[in-house]
Structures are given as C-alpha cells and as structure tokens.
Structure 1
Amino acid sequence: MKLLRVGPAGAERPALLDEEGTLRDLSALVPDVDAGLFADESALERVRAAVGARVLPALDPSGLRIGPPVGRIGKIVCVGLNYHAHATELRVKVPAEPVLFLKAPDTVVGPEDTVLVPRGSEKTDWEVELAVVIGRTARYLETDEQALASIAGYAVANDVSERAFQMERGGQWDKGKNCETFNPLGPWLVTADEVPDPQDLRLRLWVNGQLRQDGSTADQIFPVAQVVRYVSQYMTLHPGDIVNTGTPAGVAMGQPEPKPYLRAGDVVELEIDGLGRQRQVLKEA
C-alpha cells in the first residue's frame, strides 16, 4: 500500500494511493498514518480489506497539499557516510560502524513544501535518502530478519544539511542538521511488503534540472537490516520512528570548487524507485 497524509500543515488527514493512481480517503477508517496505525494490525487489515472491496471514497487531488506520510514522529535516527562512493568523494575512511546522529521531528515537512535556507548559511546541501519507517518496537534485535520484520515501510527523504554549521562551528553535527524544514519526507509511505529488496533501489536527485546524485542502495556500507539491528542496540525504536539510511555520492560538499551549494530560488527534485518523487523550491528563512 501507498499511505499518505493530505491537507494543510498540522491538519493532514490519512489517505491512500490505489493501484490505478486514484487518491482515496482513509479518515473514516483510521485517525492518522502514525504509530497507532502501525502498531494495530487489525486497523491495517481494515484498510487492506477496504482497498480490496473498492469502497474507499476518492479525493480530488487538485490543489491538495501532500504532507509528510507519517504523523507524530517520535525520533529520526540518521546514518552518516553509509555509501562507499559517498565516502570516496569526501576522501574519508569507510567507517567501521554506522555513524549515527539525530534530527528533530519538527524538521519534517511535506515533499513539496518550501525548504528554507538558514540565515547566515553559505553551505546548504542536499542528500537524497531512503527513509525506513518503524512499525514494531525494536529493542536489542539479534538478527537481520527481526530487523526487517520491524519495518512498516519506506519513504523518500531529503536530509538537507548546512555544512558550515555542521562541520565548522564546533560541537557535533546537530547545528547543521536540525534547521527548520531540513527533512522533507514522502510523498508516500510504501509498506514493506511492496519493497521486496531495500538493497535494490535507485536514488536520484536533481538541482535546477541538473542530475547531481544517481546511486543505488546496493552501495550502502551498512544495509538497511544491519542499520536497524545496530541502532536497536543503543536506543529503542518505536512505531512511527524514522531511520534515514544515508546518501549516495553527488552532494555539493563533494564537488570541485566552487561548490554548488543551494541558494534561495533553487529547485531540488529527488526520487527513489517505487517510492515517489519530491520537489522543493528554496527560499530565505
């Protein structure tokens, strides 16, 4: 299933995109696409049954905003330097263990919402990423099979980053990762049963129409299952939590000088096979 949330920011309602590409209203069946839905198998079965019975009312998508596909996110765990080619372009060693950092849930916006260039920014960067949405509590997982079984679905994420804030202003990475609007998510949550192999997905990103990133999750240093299992050793993952699994080569920071960092007016578009496409226009904060 392709689950999503539509409507004004803060007042989104649950919806579904069916196999014919018709937008369907889920609000009579479930209150939201969130931890409550992922943790309630009976609610998911009601949705599946309604899809099969073709009884869900259609929605007119004209002028309808698509919001983040997950509501009330608990936490966002991110993996840095998780693609071989990305580590190569930055001329850094492949990490021996996953590099983890956190993004605040309030960085999440819809897939076509405005991204704000922070005040004082000179090095705002892009990062197309596969986002994992947790569906079952994951705590001290022992196997990759357990890790995959804890995943509700997958989505497209843009892990927007301000490199000067991140790398040059002291402390950890938080200042460069948690500016407002720095985690566009969606358009859909595609349930895990529709993604048979998360290590066989193509990721691409364009800036002003120029292809900048073109990679595959096959290049991940730490595959999805290993990442989820690893994270569960250090923190509990709850339904509705997000894991951003890293970005392939092609970020601005890895380009020759002058590096093409983002400015107000730039247009970023990104997609992952089967998971949909995003488009953001940047503006000054």
Structure 2
Amino acid sequence: MRFADAAGTVRVGLRDADDGIRELDGVHRVADLLRLPLRQLRERVEQAPKAATHRRPDVTLLPPVDGHTEVWASGVTYERSREARGEESDSGDLYDHVYTATRPELFFKAVSWRVVTHGEPIAIRADSELDVPEPELAVVSNAYGEIVGYAVCNDVSSRSIEGENALYLPQAKVYAGSCALATEITPAWQVGALDDQWVRMSVRRRGMRPFDGEVPLAALRRGPAELVDYLFRGQPFPEGAVLATGTGIVPGMDFTLMAGDTVEIEITEVGTLSNPVVRGVEPMSWLSEARERPAARHPAAPESGPAASRGT
C-alpha cells in the first residue's frame, strides 16, 4: 500500500489487520517493486519489519499505483457483460463476436495520478444519461508480465455514450473519476483459488439500496493470465501494469448512478472498495493538485473494512 505520513512524505508499506503499517525500508514507490521479478518482489515484501512503524489513523492512504504504472481494462469477459452491451447498443453482434473471439478486448483506463481510492469520489460524466459502476478484479503485473497481486477496481462507465457508438468507448471509459482502486494490493500468494472467490456490489442511495449484485469469479470467461499475456504482447510496461478483468455485474437499463450515491464493492480474499458519486469535472479538479501534494486529496480516505486489510 501507499500512504503519506503526517509530513506529507509518501511511503510504501504493508498493512496489518490491526491497522498497523510496516514501512518497507528503501522502497519509495510501488512502481519500484513492480520493476522486480516475482521472486525478488516477494522476498522484498517479506523483509518488512515485524513491528508496525506507522498507525493507520496517523496517515493518508493513497491509490496503490504510482510512477509510470498504467491501468488497463478488459471488456465483455462475462456472459452478463455481453448481454448488457447488446441491451444498450444497436451493435450487439459486435459484442457477441468479442465475447467468443480468440483475442480479448483490452483498452487503456487511467494513468496512475488519475486513479482514486477507497473513500474518495468517483464521477459520472455531465454529458451522460446512463451510468454504471463496474466492479472488477484487478490483476497487478510486474514488468515481466508476472501476476504479483490483486486489487478491487471500479471501472465506472457511461452506458449511453458507449451505446450510441462503440467508437466512443474511450469517452465512455476514460475521464476524471472513472477509475477507482482499493488502497491495498493483496499479494497473489495470499489469495486462494480465484474460482472460489466472489464479487459483490451494492449501491446505497438515501438510505435505500437500489441495486445489489454478485457473481462468482468462476464465471470469468478468460483467465487473468491470458488477459495479461495479450496486454504484454504489444508494448513494454517497465513499471508494471494493473489490468481490470471485466465485470459480471451490470444493472438493467432502468438503473443509472446519481450524484450522492455510494458504491460498495467486495471481492472475497482480495478487499473492499467504497466511493461516493459526484457528477462532472469540477468535483474532481483536486486530482491535478494531488499529483504533488497528497494533502490535496479530497476527501482523505476513511477507514477500510476488514476485508481490505490483507496485503501491500
């Protein structure tokens, strides 16, 4: 995990279940860890101090990506996602082909500084009429294309913009507030069989829950290793990459996110992620200043749930 201490210095450490944080000596960025082969990365993580060096109430948790690490995403990797794309678009056969094709759909999602984390706002576009959260397992890969960890991702999307024309996908998917990652990366060696894990999501609105859903990771048509392999075929990632693996939870066409909602996501054995929803660009303007000044993050991430306290 990344965090800023009381002086604003950004550090990297391991979070313990009791809210203690063990700083990794000599590691200044998560990107530095992702430059290492998996064996060396694991050794470096396991060399952390045995006793906590910081306490969670005294620090600001930051998104677990930095440097030149990029976030990418996969599309139409669950049957429900294929159905949903057909519901919103006149080009349903296009999504059917992507679902069954050998080559997966991969697209760029965010540079590291535009990623938000637990407790910080996600956004819906002001020029969109139909918007949804997309809860996804994120795979963290090092520079060698090895899977080193997992995280919880919310790939917030405009269904109306993508449905209008599939070529508008970048505008539907890539904008300020569209990408959230939980504060922790759970090391791959701490997670059991992925087919045994579940993704769950709830949307809270004025004391109600207008949407709840869950899906087993066993329903994922393409395995994480296959998706990472295709991602690394076309370009190098010298400081690693985060790849969201697609969503199997999509509300019906009668649901849209609204400003003031809160989206809560859990992936068993990986973590939790909760974000309030805002609308438009202005409420996300703090991201630019937060590139250099962690104290500008708005708001500071609150306490994470117990399921989010498993790893780096």
Pick the TM interval, shorter chain: 0.7 to 0.9
Q: 1:66 is matched with which residue?
A: 61
**What pairs up with 1:93-108 in 2 under 5 angstroms?**
93=96, 94-96=99-101, 97-105=103-111, 106-108=113-115
> Which residue identity is paired with 1:197?
A
Q: d(CA) in 2 for partners of 1:45 and 1:32?
A: 16
Unaligned runs of 5+ in 2: 87-91, 281-312
Q: 1:191 is matched with which residue?
A: 187
**What pairs up with 1:107-256 in 2 under 5 angstroms?**
107-138=114-145, 150-168=146-164, 171-208=167-204, 209-249=209-249, 251-252=250-251, 255-256=252-253
Q: d(CA) in 1 for partners of 2:15 and 2:22?
A: 9
Alpha-carbon deviations, 1:95-137, whole Å to 9, x = none? 3131121113144111221112222222221100010111232
Distance 1:129 1:28, change over 3 A: same
Task: Please state whether the residue corresponding to 2:264 is helix, strand or coil.
Answer: strand
Distance 1:171 1:50, change over 3 A: closer
Q: d(CA) in 2 for partners of 1:172 and 1:122?
A: 14
Unaligned runs of 5+ in 1: 139-149
- Asked if the contact 1:70–1:240 (Cα under 8 Å) also holds between the matched residues in 2, the reply is no
How much has 1:241 moved relative to structure 2? Answer: 0.8
Distance 1:56 1:62, change over 3 A: closer
Q: d(CA) in 2 for partners of 1:221 and 1:183?
A: 23
Task: Please state whether the residue corresponding to 1:66 is helix, strand or coil.
Answer: strand
- Asked if the contact 2:110–2:179 (Cα under 8 Å) also holds between the matched residues in 1, the reply is no
- Asked if the contact 2:161–2:168 (Cα under 8 Å) also holds between the matched residues in 1, the reply is no
How much has 1:247 moved relative to structure 2? Answer: 0.3
Distance 1:166 1:7, change over 3 A: farther
Are residue 283 (structure 1) and residue 289 (structure 2) matched?
Answer: no
Task: Please state whether the residue corresponding to 1:100 is helix, strand or coil.
Answer: strand
How much has 1:84 moved relative to structure 2? Answer: 2.0
How much has 1:64 moved relative to structure 2? Answer: 4.1
- Asked if the contact 1:131–1:155 (Cα under 8 Å) also holds between the matched residues in 2, the reply is yes
Bigger shift: 36-45 or 177-186?
A: 36-45
Count the aligned residue pairs. 260
Q: Larger % of helix: which?
A: 2
> Which residue identity is paired with 1:230?
Y
Distance 1:64 1:122, change over 3 A: farther
Distance 1:211 1:116, change over 3 A: closer
Alpha-carbon deviations, 1:120-155, whole Å to 9, x = none? 2222211000101112323xxxxxxxxxxx011000
Q: d(CA) in 2 for partners of 1:26 and 1:47?
A: 10
How much has 1:175 moved relative to structure 2? Answer: 0.4
Aligned-residue CA RMSD in angstroms? Answer: 2.4
How much has 1:13 moved relative to structure 2? Answer: 2.4
TM-score (norm: length of structure 2): 0.75
Identity of aligned residues (%): 27
Q: 1:272 is matched with which residue?
A: 267
Alpha-carbon deviations, 1:198-230, whole Å to 9, x = none? 333210110114553200111011111221223
Q: 2:307 is matched with which residue?
A: none
Are residue 23 (structure 1) and residue 30 (structure 2) matched?
Answer: no
Distance 1:122 1:214, change over 3 A: same
Q: d(CA) in 2 for partners of 1:164 and 1:56?
A: 47
- Asked if the contact 1:107–1:178 (Cα under 8 Å) also holds between the matched residues in 2, the reply is no
